[in-house]
Amino acid sequence: MGPPSSIKKKFLKKWITGLQICSSSKENMSLFERKKAIKLSADVAMASARNATTCWSRALIANASKDDNNKILVDHILGTESERLKKASIGSVMCNNKRVRSKKILKKSCSFRRVKKMAPQMVLASSIAKRLVKKRTLVLKSLVPGGEAMDESSLIEETLDYIISLRAQIDVMRRLANASEHLNLK
């Protein structure tokens, strides 16, 4: 079963706003610029459909609003709440960075190390497993927007939410693309 239609509706609504703004901005855009504009508007629309309740959406909005080129677009998509959302996003991103750094400092300062006695093979196996998992979590963190600032459990939750939102986004975009292609063929 796909993502719920409420998300899709919200996304589409905001995305259409963004697209309309895109179209009115420049006359001759190259393919790549158009694609970038479309993708950006879709992403921001998706993130704002989440109303900045999730970490990845906040990070997305923060990243998008950093770039001055996109300012108008982002503002319009975010709508009336744009100021509040942007502040919340940027604030939370900065908080996260600080939090991450302070956690690391604290962990280093904590000297208590518990000794676990295990057979040498088991030690090796478990350490290998841990390393593998650690590598993959790093990759996942790089994939999910704003992932670096999350601990494992919230990372997994964010991934969950992100996957659902991505699916909704893809669904809507695909339908739109199919329909407009059909139209152009006629």
Partner 1 sequence: MELMEGNDVGFATCGDKNEEIGIESLQFGEEIQSLMSVPPETGSSFTALLELPANQAVVLLHSPESHEAPAELSGEVWRNGSIDHPKPYQPQSFACTPTFPSNTALLERASRLSVFAATENSPETTSIPSNSSATSHKVKQEPIESYSNPDSSPILSDPTVLNKNQKSTKRKEREKKVKGATKKIKNAVNDTSEDGEKLPYVHVRARRGQATDSHSLAERARREKINARMKLLQELVPGCNKISGTALVLDEIIYHVQSLQRQVELLSMRLAAVNPRIDFNLDGLLAAESGSLMDGNFPGMFMPPIWPEGCVNGNRQHYQQLWQFDGHHQPVWGRGEDNLNFITPANSLLSYDSSANNSGKLYSNITRVIVHLPCFSMSTEIISTSRKSVGLDYKFREHSDIVNCYQVSKH
Interacting residues with partner 1 between 118 and 147 (CB under 8 A): 129, 132-133, 136-137, 139-140, 143-144
In 27-70, which residue ranges form alpha helices assigned H by DSSP? Answer: 31-49, 55-66
Distance, in Å, from the CA atom of 96 to the CA atom of 173, rounded to the nearest integer, reads 32
Site for partner 1 contains 19 (CB under 8 A): yes
The one segment of 19-27, 67-75, 80-88, 118-126 that binds partner 1 by CB under 8 A: 19-27
Site for partner 1 contains 176 (CB under 8 A): yes
Number of residues forming the site for partner 1 (CB under 8 A) = 79
Site for partner 1 contains 80 (CB under 8 A): no
DSSP annotation string for 75-144: HHHHGGGHHHHHHHHHHHHHHHHHHHHHHHHHHHH----------HHHHHHHHHHHHHHHHHHHHHHHHS
Which one among 13, 66, 84, 101 touches partner 1, defined by CB under 8 A? 13
Site for partner 1 contains 16 (CB under 8 A): yes
